[in-house]
């Protein structure tokens, strides 16, 4: 009886603490973090002097708790938890035992070459899945600060598809940074551990084409039925459905069906959901309901680690000096790094006996490195010039101290773009503008916020970005 009473009290304490936590989070950033993460926590029980809060899996322990542990413990104390008590996180038992969804007919198989194509006899029953690339596995994915969050989320999903709250898992980031690789790795993992699971990997473009074909053949019902049988839907490059309303409707319904049945949906896109122009709000809302993770450009160390791993699988002995040279000079994305490495490997294949020197490597990679320079090396001055020209003002105006709105916007936009498109630090940018680093920071933040609510400013930013030879996705996050 007494035990029941203390359980009830502990539960009430939990409810109070949660309510309090909602009140004490003041900034938008804190609130949005809390809205996203708090539903993952549940009251678990009391163990001695510890108030145990349950989490579903190790991913949450590693990534979610550092963000909310301290405020949550404070809220518990403020809600009446005795001072000598502490909060502890614990992974719920069931998470460990969770496995892949109920067996259903095989779609993609472990041997990718044999996966179902439309021409196969199975295609009438199952959605066409594209073959998974053999090498796009977790084992071949090199982790670094730029992708470890996405990697951790992908691993959690692969271990318990449809059973975590990361449904859908939305992976976004620039081109060639490993989104498709990571998504396919989930597919490989699920199939390896549960060969009878139905995994469908498809680009949004193929999804669209298939929809249109079925629409013309008046076989939409069958099309829908097929997608409902999927355990894991891996949908690549969802930005492709922007502006195509009918398919969005179809996708919205498929999506709801699958998530309602606890089937896993994973998507990739080149921009964050909120920056997907031409996609309905309600769909964007759905995309954000699970877990949204970004893959960023890899750091030097990660680039080098990727190179070493790829060099090893090419079974060539490439001098460290040359790998470092590539990692230093090819910085834009992983696909470009692979391209550079494959040039070296081809050269080695063709000139078996000739030792590979740094001079030869420099020569072989000259073009790629030139391209990189064009991609990466924008100067602050280039940015100021382009922004000034766009707004019909002068560079002198931009660096002046005049605070009229006609100058403040171009000035802050130039600061924002300098932060996003150059590798310069805040103090360096400040110096170029004749301002402090705090002013640059404030200016950039202001633009970042305005971009979300001012379509005209966003359009101007997109045009300027394109004048600078960049894509909006290089700037937006």
Closer to ligand ADP by CB, 179 or 286: give it: 179
Strands (E) in 250-348, as ranges, are 264-269, 291-294
Determine if 177 is a binding residue for ligand ADP (CB under 6 A). Answer: yes
Closer to Mg ion by CB, 180 or 259: give it: 180
Determine if 154 is a binding residue for ligand ADP (CB under 6 A). Answer: no
State whether the Cα torsion 346-349-353-356 is positive or negative.
Answer: positive
Closer to Mg ion by CB, 141 or 433: give it: 141
- Using CB under 5 A, pick the residue from 160, 180, 275, 297 that binds Mg ion: 180
Closer to Mg ion by CB, 115 or 180: give it: 180
Closer to ligand ADP by CB, 197 or 334: give it: 334
Closer to ligand ADP by CB, 55 or 199: give it: 199
Alpha helix segments (H runs only) across 314-454? 320-329, 334-350, 358-364, 366-376, 380-391, 395-399, 405-421, 426-433, 437-453
Pairing state between β 50-55 and 42-47: antiparallel
Site string for ligand ADP, 101-140 (x = CB under 6 A): -----------------------------------x---x
Residue 236's φ and ψ, nearest 5 degrees, are -90, 140
Distance CA 240, CA 208 (A): 9
Which residue is nearest to ligand ADP, using beta carbons?
Answer: 178
- Count residues binding ligand ADP (CB under 6 A): 16
Q: With CB cut-offs between 5 and 8 Å by kind, which of Mg ion, ligand ADP, none does residue 419 bind?
A: none
Determine if 334 is a binding residue for ligand ADP (CB under 6 A). Answer: yes
Distance CA 108, CA 106 (A): 6
DSSP of 154-182: HHHHHHSTTTSS--SEEEE-STTSSHHHH
State whether the Cα torsion 432-436-438-444 is positive or negative.
Answer: negative
Asked whether the beta carbons of 184 and 123 are under 8 A apart, the reply is no
Site string for ligand ADP, 288-307 (x = CB under 6 A): ------------------x-
**Is the peptide bond preceding residue 95 cis, with omega within 30 degrees of 0?**
no
- Using CB under 6 A, pick the residue from 71, 131, 176, 319 that binds ligand ADP: 176
Determine if 444 is a binding residue for Mg ion (CB under 5 A). Answer: no
Distance CA 342, CA 359 (A): 17
Q: With CB cut-offs between 5 and 8 Å by kind, which of ligand ADP, Mg ion, none does residue 416 bind?
A: none
Q: With CB cut-offs between 5 and 8 Å by kind, which of ligand ADP, Mg ion, none does residue 71 bind?
A: none
State whether the Cα torsion 385-389-395-400 is positive or negative.
Answer: negative
Angle among Cα 14, 18, 19 to the nearest 5 degrees reads 120
Which residues, numbered 336-375, are part of the site for ligand ADP (CB under 6 A)? Answer: 338
Q: With CB cut-offs between 5 and 8 Å by kind, which of ligand ADP, Mg ion, none does residue 177 bind?
A: ligand ADP
- Count residues binding Mg ion (CB under 5 A): 2
Residues forming the site for ligand ADP (CB under 6 A):
136, 140-142, 147, 175-181, 306, 334-335, 338
Residues forming the site for Mg ion (CB under 5 A):
179-180
């Amino acid at each position: 009886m007494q035990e029941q009473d203390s359980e009830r009290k502990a539960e009430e304490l939990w409810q109070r603490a949660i309510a309090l936590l909602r009140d004490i989070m003041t900034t938008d950033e804190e609130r949005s973090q809390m809205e996203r993460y708090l539903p993952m926590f549940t009251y678990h029980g009391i163990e001695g002097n510890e108030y145990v809060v349950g989490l579903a899996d190790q991913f949450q322990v590693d990534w979610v708790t550092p963000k909310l542990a301290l405020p949550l413990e404070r809220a518990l104390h403020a809600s009446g938890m005795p001072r000598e008590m502490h909060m502890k996180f614990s992974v719920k038992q069931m998470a460990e035992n969770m496995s892949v969804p109920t067996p259903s007919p095989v779609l993609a198989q472990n041997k990718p070459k044999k996966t179902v194509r439309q021409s196969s006899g199975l295609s009438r029953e199952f959605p066409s899945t594209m073959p998974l690339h053999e090498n796009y596995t977790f084992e071949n994915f090199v982790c670094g600060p730029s992708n470890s969050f996405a990697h951790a989320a992908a691993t959690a999903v692969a271990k318990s598809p449809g059973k975590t709250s990361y449904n859908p898992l939305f992976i976004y980031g620039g081109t060639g940074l490993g989104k498709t690789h990571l998504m396919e790795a989930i597919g490989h993992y699920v199939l390896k551990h549960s060969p009878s699971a139905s995994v469908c990997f498809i680009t949004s473009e193929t999804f669209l084409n298939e929809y249109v074909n079925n629409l013309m053949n008046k076989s939409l019902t069958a099309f829908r039925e097929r997608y409902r049988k999927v355990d894991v839907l891996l949908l690549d490059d969802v930005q492709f459905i922007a502006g195509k309303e009918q398919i969005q409707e179809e996708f919205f319904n498929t999506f709801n069906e699958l998530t309602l049945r606890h089937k896993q949906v994973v998507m990739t896109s080149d921009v964050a959901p909120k920056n997907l122009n031409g996609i309905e709000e309600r769909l964007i809302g759905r995309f954000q309901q699970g877990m949204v993770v970004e893959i960023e450009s890899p750091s030097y160390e990660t680039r080098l680690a990727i190179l070493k791993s790829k060099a090893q699988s090419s079974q060539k002995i490439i001098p460290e000096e040359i790998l470092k040279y590539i990692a230093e000079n090819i910085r834009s994305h992983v696909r470009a790094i692979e391209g550079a490495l494959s040039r070296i490997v081809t050269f080695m294949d063709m000139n078996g006996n000739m030792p590979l020197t740094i001079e030869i490597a420099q020569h072989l990679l000259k073009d790629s490195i030139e391209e990189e320079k064009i991609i990466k090396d924008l100067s602050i001055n280039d940015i100021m010039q382009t922004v000034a020209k766009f707004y019909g003002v002068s560079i002198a105006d931009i660096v002046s101290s005049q605070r009229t709105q006609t100058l403040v916007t171009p000035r802050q936009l130039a600061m924002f773009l300098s932060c996003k498109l150059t590798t310069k630090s805040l103090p360096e940018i400040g110096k170029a503008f004749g301002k402090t680093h705090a002013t640059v920071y404030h200016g950039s933040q202001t633009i970042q916020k305005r971009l979300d609510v001012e379509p005209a400013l966003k359009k101007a930013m997109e045009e300027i970005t394109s004048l600078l030879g960049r894509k909006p996705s290089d700037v937006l996050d």
